[in-house]
Structure 1
Amino acid sequence: MYRQGTARGTETAWYQGWDLTENERATFRATTIASQQAKRQAIAGECTASKHPIYSPRLDPLDLMPRLHANGLSALSLFSGGGGMDIGFDRAGFGHVASYEIMEGAAAVLRAAHPDWTVYGGDSGDVRRVEWGKYRGKVDVLHGGPPCQPFSNAGRQNGALDVRDMIPEFVRAVKAIRPRVFVCENVSGLATKRFEEYVKSTIIEPLERQYVIRQFILNAADYGVPQTRRRVLFVGFADKEEAARFEIPAPTHRHDQSKGSGHNLPKTMGVREALGLPETGVDALSPTLRSGLTGPRHTTSVLSSVSALKLWNKLGVWPNGVAVDRAAASGYVAKNGDFRLSLPDCLVLQGFPGDWPVQRPVYFALGLIGNSVAPPMAYNLANAVAKALCPAKL
């Protein structure tokens, strides 16, 4: 049974922890105490010399998203979270109308990154309370990624029975605003047979009379992001001719999971190369980074599964106890001596600018990163939408 979280940024029922048995609580408590003790020793300088120096990343995600000139199109953001979709559309030349995000901590990050943006957070960012008609005729593209927990394994896939299911609210906004295009993003689980009827009744049928809707899956690694991260997209065009011009963004990079042609494309960096770590003869894409706000407790781990742990081990990277910065990670030695990740490292692996102002606590920052759309993927999608809307300019 779910219970509402009360930690910073999680006052809303959209981000809930799980009730645990006493044995589970005891296990987590013992692990936490041991981790806290090791961390205190590291901060006090009581540990041995750092296992690794502070490395500089070889990948700058901004290189994957060259800033384009303003294209004269506007974009309104719902469920903005850490800002992944917002970054992509902004870098692609779209004018920013506003961002709506119920977590005030997330809204604060967006304001810090872009003081010029209009950002609604907390109660004013609650999409359930907004009368969207005020934006009619003022928005070319409405985009957003409603909470994914109702459709993800970590969220138990309760779909419409989950209080966090906000896709109906996204559809309500589309119907009220009537943008030229809408873009709805979610975990690939939403595209499985389990939710086929849900998608039909909740997204397709309410909107298909006004929009030509395309459904497809993108992998962030196809756009240079050093992470396996597949997401389903629903893109709807109000104009049939513009819909006919829309092309699903082709890969810009190749990687070890690439399908089909593309051998002439630049290679997506693996984790070690992207983070500037020494070569070991083994490198690969990062497993999908989990959000620090999902699972049985809020966590500073990005580990998503047992198979992911095996890959992290092969890479020589420790996915648990992510540190606040690279200096702290270097001094906080992992038990097995592997490289410890920091928040700036996770930003790079997710395709965010390395200086994106995510804040403490670390679990909350990881929640924003792990829940976000990878910005380079959003950027390429934004370019594809822009080309369909105004091909003469691009």
Structure 2
Amino acid sequence: MERLTVVEICAGAGGQALGLHKAGFDHVLAVEIDKNAAATLRANSEWTVAEGDVADQSVWNPSDYRGVTLLAGGVPCPPFSSAGKQLGSSDERDLFAWAVEQAEKLQPRAILLENVRGLSATRFAAYRQRILDRLSALGYVAEWRLLQAADFGVAQLRPRFVLVALRPADARYFYWPSPNKTRVSVGDALFDLMGANGWPHVEAWRARANSIGPTLVGGSKKHGGADLGPTRAKLAWRALAVDGRGVADGPPGPDWPHPDERPPRLTIPMVARLQGWSDNDSWVFTGGKTSRYRQIGNAFPPPVAQALGSSIASALRHEGIAREIPDTDSTIHDPVYRRLVDGGGYVSSAALLKVMESGSTQAHLEDKMRQILLDFELDVEVVSNGARYKIGAFRGFTGQTDHRRHDFVTNHKSKVS
């Protein structure tokens, strides 16, 4: 059986790495900028770990890994997160388009990239279309899918927007993993850990924590200590009898009151289990409590990565029944962007309105153009009967040596994660 190898970029604390390992992939390289997360990877594996900016060729050279089976990663989320400004390619931290470009250098059989739900928003339709078109030009069949971590045994709401791309011969055998039939509640997932110090009210707590939790928020280096997220998330945790204002050093003991009187806080082992690590993994997180919490909170849940890795591995081995793959030219996320690109020059407002949803007005088109302008250069020419538009260069980072991103990373290295 062919050895399945993987290069993982922005590997973090190893959630995706662990899941892919369980699915049968061997890491030939993991790249991570955060020193504590890189130390965690080294502490739990014998993988080669390159520490530093993933886009710096002094850290690693993608061409050295040409022919790897899988290129995987969870590139930075802030450019697309609804909790931020959703700057997309205008955010210096955006590495999604850059990651896609590495496929030309590595020539992997498969690609797996994941990000937050925000990338699936209308705001980024043109961005997604560009990704699909670029992968098609590189010889891949690419598909997006929004997956819920709770469908794969993870006791939290954690939607992840996932891109999988394979060569056409392999894509015919790829099927997205099927959700589990049942979901796990926070109470059931953490019952033994919450009662480990003899808390007499642990059964009452489990009865109140009878649903899946909100998304764990790892946050960034720019913000304060470890807690379970913004006010809305804390209120959702409070409804599950969990105090989200911090992370505890240990579970409640025999003298801890009833959860209605004083809800307990989660510990690092509890947070890790909610993110999908199991006791059998024996995974060690390095660094202080805040760093360990952030590493876990920012991770891709191992069970989701394992499910995706297993589906990709099956496709690469041509297991199961072959399917008809979508025609990449007909896979449209943004008809306006596609019309602008296909036009090759100026395209009239009337022509663009024809490809928009029925009932769209000039005002809708102008809103759309403002969205596209955030990620692409756009030339507007006013004519007697309206306006004409010509799309220009992509604003994002794809590997340019003179891109503004390099100065940002150099000057803010302590805050980049």
Q: TM-score, normalised by structure 1?
A: 0.72
Q: Give 1:299's aligned residue.
A: 225
Aligned to 1:168: 97
Deviation at 1:219, TM superposition (A): 0.6
Query: Which residue in the other structure is 1:144 paired with?
Result: 73
- In structure 2, how many angstroms separate the alpha carbons of the residues matched to 1:176 and 1:241? 20
Q: Distance in 1 between matches of 2:252 and 2:32?
A: 31
Give the match's secondary structure for 2:172. helix
CA deviation after TM superposition for structure 1 residue 292, in Å? 3.6
Q: Tell me whether 1:248 sits opposite 2:176 in the alignment.
A: yes
Match of 2:64 in 1: 134
Matching residue of 1:229:
158
- Alignment partner of 1:271 out of 167, 182, 186: 186
Q: For 1:5-41, what per-residue CA distance to the aligned partner results, in whole angstroms no more than 9, with x for missing partners? A: xxxxxxxxxxxxxxxxxxxxxxxxxxxxxxxxxxxxx
| Distance (whole Å) between structure 2 residues aligned to residue 393 and residue 193 of structure 1 | 34
**What is the aligned partner in structure 1 of residue 134 from structure 2?**
206
1:278-289 alignment to 2 at 5 Å?
Answer: 278-280=203-205, 281-282=207-208, 283-289=210-216
Unaligned runs of 5+ in 2: 192-201, 322-417
By how many angstroms is 1:245 displaced?
Answer: 1.0
SS in 1 for 2:245: strand
Aligned counterpart, 2:14: 83
Query: How much does 1:336 deviate?
Result: 5.4
Match of 2:49 in 1: 119
**Runs of at least 4 residues off by over 4 Å:** 330-336
Give the equivalent residue in structure 1 for 2:290. 363
1-side partners of 2:188 and 2:229: how far apart? 20
For residue 334 of structure 1, report the CA deviation from its aligned partner. 9.8
Structure of higher CA gyration radius:
2
Structure 2 CA distance for partners of 1:339 and 1:215, relative to 1, 3 Å:
same
Deviation at 1:356, TM superposition (A): 2.2
**Offset, 1:131:** 2.6
Indicate how the Cα distance of structure 1 residues 393 and 94 shifts in structure 2: closer, same or farther if over 3 A, else same: farther
Please tell me whether the aligned partners of residues 155 and 183 of structure 2 are also in contact (alpha carbons under 8 angstroms).
Answer: yes
Over the matched positions of the two proteins, sequence identity in percent amounts to 33
- Aligned residue for 1:372, secondary structure, equals coil
- Number of residues of Structure 1 aligned to a counterpart in Structure 2: 304
1:282-314: per-residue Cα shift (whole Å, max 9, x none)? 3110100011426x62321112442x3333222
Q: Point out where structure 1 has 5 or more consecutive residues left out of the alignment.
A: 1-69, 253-264
After the TM superposition, which of the residue ranges 330-339 and 310-319 deviates more from structure 2? Answer: 330-339
- Amino acid in the other structure paired with 1:161: S
Return the alpha-carbon distance in structure 2 between the equivalents of residues 384 and 181 of structure 1.
Answer: 11
> What secondary structure is seen at the aligned counterpart in 1 of 2:98?
helix
Q: Residue 332 and residue 165 in structure 1: after superposition, are their counterparts in 2 closer, same or farther (change >3 A)? A: farther
CA distance in 1, matches of 2:87, 2:307: 31
Tell me if structure 2 keeps the 8 A contact 1:78–1:127.
no
Work out the CA distance in 2 between the residues paired with 1:332 and 1:343.
Answer: 21
Distance across 2 between alignment mates of 1:93 and 1:216: 22
Task: Indicate conservation of the 8 Å contact 1:88/1:378, yes or no.
Answer: yes
Aligned-pair distance for 1:393?
A: 10
Q: What secondary structure sits across from 1:338 in the alignment?
A: coil
CA contact (8 A) 2:9 2:54 kept: no
Distance 1:215 1:140, change over 3 A: same
Using the TM superposition, give the Cα deviation of residue 333 of structure 1 relative to its aligned residue in structure 2, in angstroms.
11
Distance 2:319 2:163 in 1: 25
- Quote the residue 2:411 is aligned against: none
Shift of 1:206: 1.9
The one-character-per-residue Cα deviations of 1:122-180 (angstroms, maximum 9, x if unpaired) are 3xx5333243111112x111100110011113332111111111112212211110100
Deviation at 1:83, TM superposition (A): 0.9
The question of whether the paired residues in 2 share the 8 Å contact of 1:78 and 1:144 is answered with: yes
User: Offset of 1:331 from its aligned partner?
Assistant: 8.0
Give 1:132's aligned amino acid: P
CA contact (8 A) 1:76 1:142 kept: yes
Distance 1:332 1:244 in 2: 57
* Alpha-carbon distance between aligned partners in 1 of 2:72 and 2:252, rounded to the nearest angstrom: 37
Instruction: Show the counterpart of 2:110.
Output: 181
Q: Rate the CA distance shift 1:135–1:227 in 2: closer, same or farther, 3 A.
A: same
C-alpha distance 374-195 of structure 1, shift in aligned 2 (>3 A): same
CA distance in 2, matches of 1:383, 1:146: 21
